[in-house]
Amino acid sequence: MTLITNLLATLINLATLFGVVVAFCLAALTRDLPDHRALATWEPSVTTRLYAGDGAMIAQYARERRLFLPIGAVPARVRQAFLSAEDKNFYLHPGIDLTSLATALWANLANYGSGRRMIGGSTITQQIAKNFLLSADRTFERKLREAILSIRIDQTYSKDRILELYLNDIYLGLGAYGIAQAALTYFDKPVDQLTVAEAAYLAALPKAPNNYDPYRHPERAVARRNWVIEQMRRNGVIDARVAAAATASPLATRSKRQEASAERADYFSEDVRRQLASRYGEAALYTAGLSVRTTLDPRLQQAAMRALRKGLVAYDQAKGYRGPAARLASLQGWQEALAARQPLSDVPEWRLAVVLSAGTDTAELGLRRSGAGDAVADTVQIDRKDHGWALCHIKEGRRRCAFSLDAVLSPGDVVYVETLRTGTVLRQPPQVQGALVSMDPNTGRVLAVAGGFSYAQSEFNRATQAYRQPGSSFKPFVYAAALDTGYAPTTLVMDAPIAIADGTGKTWRPKNYDGRFSGPSTLRTGLENSRNLMTVRLARHLGMDLVADYGKRFGIYDTLSPYLPMSLGAGETTLLRLVSAYAVIANGGKAINPSMIDRIQDRYGRTIYRQDGRQCANCNALSWEEQDEPDLVDNRDYVLDPMTAYQITSMMRGVVERGTARNVATLGVPIAGKTGTTNDEKDVWFVGFTPGIVTGVFLGYDTPKPMGYGETGGGLAAPIFIDFMKVALEGKPAADFHPPGGMTFQTVDRKTGRPTDDGAPGAIVEAFKPGTGPCDGNCTVIDDREMAELPADDAEPGLPPALKEKLLNTTGGLY
């Protein structure tokens, strides 16, 4: 009896000791366990996506490419595929599966010392515990901590919530996190459209996605997918017929279509990306899963890039051939050498080629394959008669030409070519750059942005980042200031030479572009023909403080120094700011805020930003009960008198119909606009508009230098505008500009401003504000012969010497 008592006492003591040891171990293991309740507020890193105005995706930004998908949106076949592959007892076990653990333990003991990888036997819940809360260390201690956390997680959250975390967190290869992104990456379809075979393939990936890459290891991928299909059959998820059909189907993965569905929108999307990063921070941009609806019109964006590239290439080729992009030391192995070179990725119509041989009239070129392969097999011949531009070049200001292809091409030359319907032609990336911006003048929505020839070549956006002199394209705002202060389009200003002392012994002598002058002329004539001398006199009478105020009021400049040369566009601004200013004139004088973003939604679909701030209380009626249409009140301020806006628009229509942009009239619709050409032809501009769209074009070298004598905004920028507007106006009825109420109209002589008969030479119908009209008699002429001196350096210590020199050199060329 004593023996039994002692034995029982010993067993109790051992059990107590074992319990104390277990409790001590559990306490040690759980002392610093992560708080599993943090999973309740888990928000995964989700891809931010940019969409064009028509819903096409144009860009996406992410550190982990993921789209969050609620568990309720996951089809049963997809859930069951993952459960069959990873954790068939998921809905039955308490977070750990003792049967699976025992199987894994037995297998590990059997494989001990063999060098094989240890089997974990983890449930989906354990994977959540490891991935979210613990490290990936393969230790016994970590497995125990993982098991404890898994039980706690299972007790705290529903099975569906745990599965939702898992399906949205797992990495499935090719940069895709979560099943929603993986479905798009591998099959280019949403999760609810996945077949059984496709769902099984995705379920095969979590263990080792690189091992089952469909492009590098297709046999392994199919074998693993078929294993998952068999598990689904064994678990009763699918029947034998469905399993057999799924097993027999090809893998059928396909690369997701081009992420930027709206082609050639890199400059636009990068500008939006910077705006988002500035507003929400870089971290949120790449993790918050924002859905951004932009203002981009994909059709116009493509037209913008095509038109700008065509214009840049035309100008560049007129200057002649500059030589090859590179040279190969030897033609041996030219295929591999050419394949290693990267072409301009966003100009797919241009291909790299190497000159294999060149003769007098023909040359043979080997082409880099345009597809994904690296091998090059194609060769083409080019003909001298198609390459007159490439035979010539400008040297020391003179055009020099050769008479054979072998004079400009040599074997080993790496060049660009483009295949046209008429044959293959040489190309070269232009050195000159430019930009195009198009906008809705009524809303400020930016419809297209072309910031240069190629984003792959240069990410610098000349539409929004390049500050350049607008030249005469600033003049409409000087004339608008005059019209706002009581002048009329028929007011006469003297077009005659001016010499203005600067107070330091130097003299400023502005000139008209053509070097001639016309005597007393109307404001209309001065703007139509871009007369510098008239503009300077007008600015002097108005006062440069007023002109500077208008430059700031329209958003062209933040500040504008009140010096007379600034009236000729000697200040610096961006194309986007100038186009926005013209949009104010086009819409009748209302302020606009140029915008590339319409709306931003967070990952849950809640709108967190909307550009259109107008309120409409009755716009969301559930049904129509014969009530009036809701009135969307436009409460924007007026920047410009609507009557002035109409007058300046009418004058700029004259620029197109009779003035410096007559080629734009070939579009055949009412268009107003203004050219701009700066000193020494360093920058050329054209900005034009209809009632529904305003578009601006700029050309110039990134490091400003003369583009060539005689190059003007009308000759270089306007043709690009025309090419773009042909697309923008296609299918739309021609709309005319409508005058505001209260204006009067009278036929006048365009040159003298005096009343004349309809149909008389030089007759034009002019618009007048109430209380104004044409001069019929001895008309006053603005002719300030004693122009004020420019401020001397000692009188204006804040004026930098470099700016003073620039102003003094602003003479002619502003056209």
Catalytic site residues? 86, 472
Which of 560, 594, 595 has its CA nearest to residue 578?
Answer: 594
- Measured CA to CA, the distance from residue 217 to residue 227 in angstroms comes to 16
How remote is the C-alpha of 372 from its chain's centroid? 25
- What's the rounded Cα separation, in Å, for the pair 403 and 401? 7
> Is the separation of the CB atoms in 710 and 774 below 8 Å?
no
Query: Distance between terminal CA atoms of the chain?
Result: 121
The vertex-632 CA angle with 628 and 637, nearest 5°, equals: 145
Q: Across the strands, what pairs with 395?
A: 398
Closest by CA to 726, choosing from 671, 675, 685, is: 671
Minimal CA–CA distance to 661: which of 672, 650, 669, 645? 672
* DSSP string covering 60-119: EE-SSEE----GGGS-HHHHHHHHHHH-TTTTTSSSS-HHHHHHHHHHHHHTTTTTPPPP
Contacts of 378 (CB under 8 A, 6+ apart): 366, 367, 369
Q: Please list the residues that pair with 51 across neighbouring strands.
A: 57, 293
Give the position of tokens 């608008």. Answer: 480
Question: Could you give the CA distance from residue 319 to residue 400 in angstroms, rounded to a whole number?
Answer: 10
Q: Which residues contact 241 (CB under 8 A, 6 or more apart)?
A: none
Distance, in Å, from the CA atom of 198 to the CA atom of 191, rounded to the nearest integer, reads: 10
Question: 485 in helix, strand or coil?
Answer: coil
Classify residue 377 by burial, with Cβ atoms within 10 Å: 0-12, 13-18, 19+: exposed
Alpha-carbon gap, residue 317 to 744, rounded angstroms: 50
Q: Is 544 strand, coil or helix?
A: helix
Rounded Cα gap, residues 287 and 607, in angstroms: 17
Q: 607 — phi, psi (to 5°)?
A: -75, 120
